[in-house]
Amino acid sequence: MSKKVGSNKFWMTGLVPATFTPMHEDGSLNLDQVLPVVERLLAFKAMALFVCGTTGESASLSTPERKATLEAFIGAAAGRIPVVAHVGHSAIIESRDLAEHAQRSGAAAIAATPPTFFKPASVEALVDCMAAIALAAPQLPFYYYHIPHMTGVSLDMVEFLRRAADRIPTLSGIKYTAPTLYEFQACAALDGGRFNMVFGSDEMLLSGLAAGAQGAVGSTYNLCAPLYHEIMSLFAKGKHAEAQCLQLLSVNMVEAVKRYRPLPALKSMMKLAGVDCGPTRLPLIPMASAEIEGLRQALAAMGFLEWM
């Protein structure tokens, strides 16, 4: 579940799908498809929605489009599930605008990646950037979104938490999308578990749980949440061998997706699952029909489609 602790803390636990942004074939927004997406994820017992992140192609959307997308998800959620708004942008002023909008629109929390063209070169600079963004929405819990393979910003996250705790009153934790589990574990244990650490590598969920993950945010939870619910349940029961077998299925699925183009492939899989979110937007090249069929056959051969 997601919960609030004290006046500032917002905690994400369980599965939190990082939502796709539905688009028409010409790349324009197709916000009529948001409601079917939300209904699917509610049926999958998602605990919150993470909107306009990497999976949502936020870097390819204009600020007005990101606002419209967030409003559509909040409207479709209708108070039934918390919506976390990603507000990261290469321009801090745009991030602040998105943060203010998220607060006005009824988001439950915000998260932000760092600027990715002119990058913060030190933990101190990163804290300065995140503090400026968080202070634009002082009523909303704040998460730093650590995804160094996409942002090119790879700084010490333990030191970030230590420094940011005094500068960002609304800091709740980190959405951590990196394979450096030793650092993730150190963050999760810091100050007796003070911070909400959510893991963002779906194919490593079991390892994340063992390292102290309290929740998980990911793209494939849109597709096969029952698989990951079962992994989490088996882990909690101490049935680690069974959990490993199911996690291997996730690994194999992700490897199949990587043989194509990850985000275009995952978005195409949503159509296979019965909810058409359309193609990806340039510069991401959408999947061709033959590629989609090849991926479908690969997923069927490994017994993955039944989980979708």
Which is the catalytic residue, given 67, 175, 228, 260? Answer: 175
- What kind and span of H or E run contains 29? none
User: Is 9 among the catalytic positions?
Assistant: no
Catalytic one of 143, 144, 145, 260? 145
Neighbours of 305 (CB within 10 A): 17
* 108: DSSP letter: S
Q: What is the dihedral of CA 56, 47, 238, 211, to 10 degrees?
A: 50
Could you confirm whether 145 is annotated as catalytic? yes
212: left (phi over 0), alpha (psi -120 to 50) or beta: left
Q: Which residues pair with 198 in a beta bridge?
A: 175, 215
The DSSP symbol for 253 reads H
Closest CA to 6 of 217, 209, 195: 195
CA-closest candidate to residue 38, choices 308, 277, 214, 205: 277
Contact 36, 27 (CB under 8 A): no
- If you count them, how many residues does the chain have? 308
Active site residues: 145, 175
